[in-house]
Amino acid sequence: MDGNDVNAIGGCPVMHGSNTSVERPVTSWWPKSLNLDILHQHGARTNPMDVDYNHRDAVKALDYEAVKTDVKALMTDSQDWWPADWGHYGGLFIRLAWHAAGSYRLGDGRGGAGTGNIRFAPLNSWPDNASLDKARRLLWPIKKKHGNALSWADLIILSGTIAYDSMGLNTFGFGFGREDIWGPEIDINWGNDSVLLAPTDERVTDIEDANSMYNPLAASHMGLIYVNPEGVNGNPNPASTAKYVRMTFLRMAMNDEETAALTVGGHTVGKCHGMEANIGPAPEEASMSEAGFGWNNPNFNGKANTAHTSGLEGAWTTNPTQWDNGYLDLLFGYEWELKKSRAGAWQWEPVNIAEEHKVPDASDPSIKHNPIMTDADMAMKVDPIYREICERFHKDPAYLADTFSRAWFKLTHRDMGPKVNYYGPDVPPEDLIWQDPIPAGNADYDADVVKDKIANSGLTAIEMVNTAWDSARTFRSSDKRGGANGARIRLSPQKDWEGNEPTRLDKVLGILTPIALDAGASLADVIVLAGNVGLEQAIKAGGHIVEVPFEKGRGDATEEQTDGDSFSDLEPLADGFRNWQKKIYAVSPEELMLDRAQLLGLNAAEMLVLVGGMRVLGANYGESKHGVFTDREGTLSTDFFVNLTSMAYSWHPVDDDGFYELRDRKTGAVKWTATSADLVFGSNSILRAYAEVYAQDDNAEKFVRDFVAAWTKVMNADRYDLVA
């Protein structure tokens, strides 16, 4: 019976009133329930730090050199409970950093190393991450010593970077500043497969077409960072594997040269562990006695050469603790044949290898082994594009080192956003295009004078509001990209995006640009300021006088500072705030709106006030009237919520595409039309609870205040320069 169920064998039933297991969420039986929790994660309820704790301030006071010294010393401080391969932990920490950062996907900016999320499920329990829990435990004394100012996210990436440095690579740099989360990101869709390492064809519609892989994922199947090392579906075929390597790394924001460099450089050091063992369950599944370790190997016996991770067994190079050209020497110097590891995994081994090219055993240097290659390694030799790049690397080791160090830096910093978020002495001075650089903007101008010129420009309030919104809505809290700063809405590809209404946009920018030039202000500032002017006009029409907050100092990015290809992934395919989507999708409009709200960093109440306010302002795409539940369009009012919650109207679907009519219950006359992205605020019981607050007679002023606060939050979401 409820409250008395118990899973433990031999346990007695006991009454406990709380729902203590995630296996039975209280909303699980609701039809098509929205996961609003994704808007309320990582807040004050879960953060153990003091209310006034500021991580940026703490990082600034961190003793960077002491941390680096401690991490470097750990590299060769082998521990009996988890001994280092050849007495050097470099390979292990590189793998930890790689697998933390390698979960990033360009499509929505989610994943990556910026939050320390590899500490939690599902990442800590992916088979590809076996034994990385040990790496983190090895780092714990350093984290313990340096405390709050040193985040796990920073330490994990630093350990991999220092590892390369200690093995002879001149690394490109490092930026501190990542802030930890305190539980897994529940907004990330890791795929629709339910079994770890399920066949690849469960994530692709055509196994011959790597691009048909489930979007926006950057892994061929759940449980791997990129591609099965044994080959697609576990069948060795380097040419086929190359296609998946190319696609998965492209979705990680890497081009062919960066991909080849990361493959070569990543496998220049360290080894695979393929001990034949009945390995225990993953950390989240293991018994309490495993202390959160998991992956217990009963045959380990405290020796490095008996560890078990991937099932493949061996090192790629003759000197796996040194940065050298050994990987390419072996790859191109020998023919390779398929063999089975001692754990039964497919791997490639050299034919008739010279004794001096064999690899010392990780525990006993008197024993020698063949080096190995994965299917992805052989792809570097078989694929003509990768081969050409790798041959250039082979001829020019300095070129390889530079390309790799830059690619490693990009891999491990991709989700940190603008360089203003980087701290420490090793931040490279060079501006890199993938950092979305923006010149510093001028703040020495009179904003009130500019506002007057905007107000007298002939632009309508909604033209100004929509342009400001479209400029800002590209922001992604996931990887801190996009936003209004930089005014990239005037550049390709953004200026031509369908969702930005190019004709209207061109008109507005044509009027605002000379105003900006005349004032010495950035166009980015003037676009936001114009949105504020339009909003203040709508607020005044409702009988309120409110000045919308504004922060000067945005800059205007150039075409040369804009990576058009990567910015294409920021294009909105739907925007529930403007009641628009490019086409009819399998995912509902309200779910797409929820996704956008989460990326914008909004909570449920902020999402609700923005949608309700934007509707009555008339901000819909193409001047659509769906959801405009008001007879005074253009006035910022609570009418959307008043009429949404009114029982004077009944709701009627009119087609299968999610469109509805609101009809007068007495006469049957159609009063308004709506989409599901409108009506969800009245049908979903949680969202309706918020909507009822703003429908009350006593909350008209509160609504205006809350709308202005949420609007300002979106306009300033990318202003990291204000808090650096």
Q: Which residues are catalytic?
A: 99
Residue-wise DSSP of 415-430: TS-SGGG-BSTT--SS
- How far, CA to CA in Å, does 60 sit from each of 141, 180, 429, 723? 21, 16, 18, 12
Compute and round to an integer the Cα radius of gyration of the chain: 28
Query: What span, in angstroms and rounded, lies between the C-alpha atoms of 204 and 475?
Result: 29
Q: Is 723 buried (19+), middle (13-18) or exposed (0-12) by CB count in 10 A?
A: exposed
Report the C-alpha dihedral over residues 344, 350, 351, 353, rounded to 10 degrees: -120
Hunting for tokens 């309120």 — which residue is that? 544
- Reported as type and span, the H/E element at residue 471 is helix 461-472
Strand partners, 339: 347
Query: What span, in angstroms and rounded, lies between the C-alpha atoms of 364 and 479?
Result: 44
Q: What is the DSSP letter of 566?
A: H
Q: How many other CB atoms sit within 10 Å of the CB of residue 586?
A: 5
Query: What span, in angstroms and rounded, lies between the C-alpha atoms of 482 and 717?
Result: 9
> What SS3 class is residue 609?
helix
Residue 496 identity: D
Q: Is 503 buried (19+), middle (13-18) or exposed (0-12) by CB count in 10 A?
A: exposed
Tokens of 288: 């309490």
Query: What span, in angstroms and rounded, lies between the C-alpha atoms of 364 and 381?
Result: 31
- How far, CA to CA in Å, does 74 sit from each of 70, 84, 166, 382, 636? 6, 10, 11, 38, 60
- How far, CA to CA in Å, does 120 sit from each of 123, 136, 641, 698? 6, 12, 39, 44
Sign of CA dihedral 209, 211, 213, 219: positive
Q: How many Cα atoms sit within 13 Å of 370 on the Cβ side?
A: 21
To 5 degrees, how large is the angle CA 191–CA 195–CA 198? 85
CB 722 within 8 A of CB 555: no
Report the C-alpha dihedral over residues 630, 635, 636, 637, rounded to 10 degrees: -40
Smallest Cα–Cα separation from 676: which of 623, 600, 611, 602? 611
Using left for φ > 0, alpha for ψ between -120 and 50, and beta otherwise, residue 219 falls in beta
Query: What span, in angstroms and rounded, lies between the C-alpha atoms of 487 and 556?
Result: 5
- Reported as type and span, the H/E element at residue 359 is strand 359-360
Q: What is the DSSP letter of 352?
A: S
Spell out the long-range contacts of 504-512 with Cβ–Cβ below 8 A and sequence spacing 24 or more: 504/463, 504/466, 504/467, 505/467, 505/470, 507/463, 508/459, 508/463, 508/464, 508/467, 509/467, 511/457, 511/458, 511/459, 512/454, 512/457, 512/459, 512/467
Question: Which residues, 6+ apart, have CB-to-CB distance to 461 below 8 Å?
Answer: 533, 534, 535, 537, 538, 617, 634
Smallest Cα–Cα separation from 263: which of 283, 248, 273? 248
